[in-house]
Structure 1
Amino acid sequence: MKLCRFGEPGAEKPGLIDHNGDLRDLSNEVADIGNEALSDMSLDILSKVDAMQLPLVEGPVRYGPCVANVGKFLCIGLNFSDHAAETGAAIPEHPIVFHKATSSIIGANDDVVMPRGSTRSDWEVELGVVIGTTAKYVSEDDALNHVAGYCIVNDVSERHFQTQLSGQWTKGKSCDTFGPIGPWLVTRDELGDPQNLAMSCEVNGKRMQTGNTNTMIFTVAQCISHLSGLMTLHPGDVITTGTPPGVGMGIKPNPVYLKVGDVMELSIDKLGSQRQEVKIDD
């Protein structure tokens, strides 16, 4: 299934994309897409709903974040071997973990607003993993059974805040609007293998990132297993799993960063696409 949330910010309704690519209103079947609605039992019930009998949503709509009430927004850094190489970083021995504030989360096509003082805002197309059932001390073999589904995440990053303001990367990752998620949550049964998905990001129509999840250093299953040994993962938690090469910071000899009016377009196989215009907070 392709599940989504649509409508104005704060008033989103749950939706489903049918086999024709049309949006259907799910609000008579489930209150929202998040928490208990992401459990295997709930998703199994939703999978039996006749999508073609659901109310058709016509006309342009805003797609909100595809998950409601995200509890934790966890990130894995330097998780693509070719991205680590472009930044000059050593291959990590264990997954690098940091947080994005949940207040950074926006819809897939909402504007990205650079914070005051930003001069080095950057793009990062990433595979997002949405937890469906509580996970604690899970093995790699069992890890994917705790996944509700997958989505696109743009891990927008302010590199000066991230690397020069001291402390954790979280400073440059958590700015308002720096976490576009969606447009859809594609359930794990529909997506299949998460380790062979083509990924891309274009800025102003120019391809900047081209990659595939098969170059991850730590697989999705390894990331979930590792995190679940550090903290309990709950339904609705989102894990974003790293970016392939081509970020602005890695461009030689002169890095390229986002400016007002730029347009980012991100895509991952089977997960749809995102589009954000860059603005600045005045």
Structure 2
Amino acid sequence: MSDERTTAASGMETAFGFRSVGEGEKQGLVNEVFHRVAGRYDLMNDLMSGGLHRLWKDGMVSWLNPPRRPGFKALDVAGGTGDIAFRIVEASKGNAHVTVLDINGSMLGVGRERGAKKGIAANLTFVEANAEDLPFADNTFDAYTIAFGIRNVPHIDVALAEAYRVLRPGGRFMCLEFSDVDMPLLDKVYDQWSFHVIPRIGQAVTGDRESYRYLVESIRKFPNQRNFATMIEVAGFGRVSWRDYSGGIAALHSGWKI
């Protein structure tokens, strides 16, 4: 068991939080977590982040700046409940079409219901598939987004290669993920909140402490901002950059298929 961050592609494929698991075991364990938490996923995001995740997601879509013209096609990966997809459709004034892909059918079910209630079902397609093996042709999408999902993918380098493949030349990759806090005092407060409070909130709200213990531990294993940026570059993307949110609690990475 190790709470040290991984530095590159290797390491995450066998890390289930701080616990090491066998090659091929992680995906099934992650799936079980999200089947359990799907019904309360959005509520827990609010409670865990104090609502900040909404501002971070708004910032992501603002930086993406989808055009207000027909024809823009985005792929939102690990986006089951629809938070990013809905924002893209709304920012485009109803012109964008977003394919929401998730490996977890329970999460997609929540997203379908929410999209229908918002009256934007025609702008959305929901696909149950694996980020490491996207069921789309090369050069299909104008944008690939993933928010708080890539750390749960066993082979992140494979997922990044797939993102590059399905983007059109000139397409944009954007990833919002919890990252490495680099502010004195905030890092200590954040650790206390993460390891002692969040699992208790998970127990109180969902009856499931262990799933939230995994989610907190997975954040600490994920590569820091610079190392993840390097992975994006290795996948072929150019003009790679990132923005820190809330002192590095989250980071938004951007890259282009040039």
Q: Determine if the TM-score, normalized by the shorter chain, exceeds 0.5.
A: no
- TM-score of the two chains, using structure 2 as the length reference: 0.30
Structure having the larger proportion of residues in strand: 1
Larger radius of gyration, structure 1 or 2? 1
Structure having the larger proportion of residues in helix: 2
